[in-house]
Amino acid sequence: MNHTASLYNQYKAAAQKIADVKYANAVLQWDQETYLPSKGAAARATQMATLSELAHGLSTDKKLGELLLELNAAEGLNEREKKNVQLSLEDYQKQEKFSGAFVRQMSEAISTSFHAWIEARKQNDFKVFQPALETLVQLKKEEAEILGYQGHPYNALLNEYEKGVTVQLLDNVFASLTQPLGELLEKAKQLPMVDDSFLHQYFPKQQQWDWGMDLIQQLGFDLEAGRQDIAEHPFTTNFSSQDVRLTTRIDENDFANMTWSCIHEVGHGLYEQGLPDDQYGLPCGEYASLSIHESQSRLWENSAGRSKGFWQHYYPVLQTYFPEPLKHVDVHRFYQSINKIQPSLIRTEADELTYHFHVNIRYSIEKEIISGHCSVADIPGIWNEQYRKFLGVIVPDDKQGCLQDVHWSHGSFGYFPTYSLGSFYAAQFFEQAKKEIPGLEQQISVGNTMELLNWLRNAVHQYGRMYTSEELCRKITGEGLNVAHFMNYLSNKIDTLK
């Protein structure tokens, strides 16, 4: 073995050791959101903080830094190996900016904030969450200063989820979409009123669970390399590509809640299971970005899962699970109902058009909080006013308003814009898939989604972090992000709902 290969093996062993600690911590976080008894919260916060601090110590070890610098200048690495070293060096230099004490403090604040959010939702009172969130926001402001930024301080946090994205870019994207989305919304209001009340009949929990488990397997999720559980807010996490955890939630009087949670999260899960297992612990074994991750979930949830062809196959199956609630509902009425465009309160249940107003509202609040132009205490008032202004809905309480999302309790400031970016990438990728897979929509209409999954494995999953979002988009479609594909998709969808 030559010297460069020996150094690379040392680097790989160190990186995988760091991953072991981080994923052990991720197991504790998954458990915290699924099975942890309430009295275990304080001890769990300490345990997770300890592991975060350990992982940070390993990630900033000076010997690792020296090794990465030497490897980064070395000859003899292949393209993937070079990219792993380059990205790991970037990660190292970023982690080096943080003290172990700050990492521990952040971890403890996040655990405290999460449990405060759970309690605030139970009491339906934002003020229960406010003190913990104020502490966390102050730490996120400090994080932005530690990381450094140009222009807006929020740019530092955005870059953690979507490399190169800025407030200026996002402001331009959302500003450019506000009018055309509003015009499409007016067009949608001219559609015949569809009676979707059947979606809010009684759908028993166990049957919903069985249906969801059947569906995620049909879509290709490997239950020998993952599982699904119940959580307060649906999410996906992984501990390797061979251990991916989905979560969902069930409302017995809202069929759509669990079904599209399952389809959405399985999109995330399929991506994680498709990452190269031989790159465990290395950048090329990790997802490209949050918007690319979201493109996978939104592609399955909407481009496939809300398509007419998808339900031509799955609706008869669904009726075997729920014969009574669906016995007088034909497939076209079902299709119209699940695609009904109507301003609403809850982001995760919003239609594909109004969804982006939800995201923009959260984004606008986040950047103002991080810049100091508004305070945490201002959130409910701003939130309620923005919902009235953009969506024309009156927010009745905090649980259906500013307490609905888990993200702020995780300290995930900078995350929300990736939801819209992911939807735009999803439409563009699906359009390309239709060009490259003969008869794709026909295949979906007979229950064959494996060709689509294989295409995504080849076009997206296999590369890990080899490419930025824009580089990957250009590689797949021949152009960078182009929101025209999303607007065309939406306009065409509305035409099929008549």
List the domain boundaries for the chain.
Answer: 3-148, 167-495
Residue 364 confidence (pLDDT): 97
Q: What is the four-CA torsion angle of 328, 332, 338, 344, rounded to 10 degrees?
A: -90
| Mean local confidence (pLDDT), 455-475 | 97
Residue 277 confidence (pLDDT): 96
Confidence tier at 233 by pLDDT (50, 70, 90): confident
| Mean local confidence (pLDDT), 84-90 | 97
| Mean local confidence (pLDDT), 211-219 | 98
**Above 90 in pLDDT, residue 288?**
yes
Confidence tier at 128 by pLDDT (50, 70, 90): very high
| Mean local confidence (pLDDT), 142-159 | 96
Residue 232 confidence (pLDDT): 85
Residue found under tokens 């982690």: 95
**Above 80 in pLDDT, residue 83?**
yes
- d(CA 428, CA 423) in angstroms, rounded, equals 9
Residue 348 confidence (pLDDT): 86
Q: Which residues contact 278 (CB under 8 A, 6 or more apart)?
A: 285
Confidence tier at 356 by pLDDT (50, 70, 90): very high
Total number of residues shown for the chain: 498
Spatial CA neighbour of 56 closest among 10, 116, 96, 12: 96
**Above 90 in pLDDT, residue 124?**
yes
| Mean local confidence (pLDDT), 47-65 | 96
Residue 204 confidence (pLDDT): 97
Class of domain 167-495: mainly alpha
- d(CA 8, CA 30) in angstroms, rounded, equals 32
265 part of the active site: yes
Residue 307 confidence (pLDDT): 97
Give the tens place of pLDDT for each residue, 395-417. Answer: 999 999 999 999 999 999 999 99
- d(CA 102, CA 107) in angstroms, rounded, equals 9
Residue tagged active-site, from 81, 265, 294, 470? 265
Confidence tier at 85 by pLDDT (50, 70, 90): very high
- For residue 236 the two structure tokens come to 């996906």
**Above 90 in pLDDT, residue 1?**
no
Inter-residue contact 464 to 279 (CB < 8 Å): yes
- d(CA 235, CA 33) in angstroms, rounded, equals 9
- Cα within 13 Å of Cα(453), Cβ side: 22
- d(CA 20, CA 239) in angstroms, rounded, equals 8
SS3 (DSSP) at 465: coil
Q: What is the pTM (predicted TM-score) of this model?
A: 0.93
**Above 90 in pLDDT, residue 209?**
yes
Confidence tier at 349 by pLDDT (50, 70, 90): confident
| Mean local confidence (pLDDT), 461-477 | 97
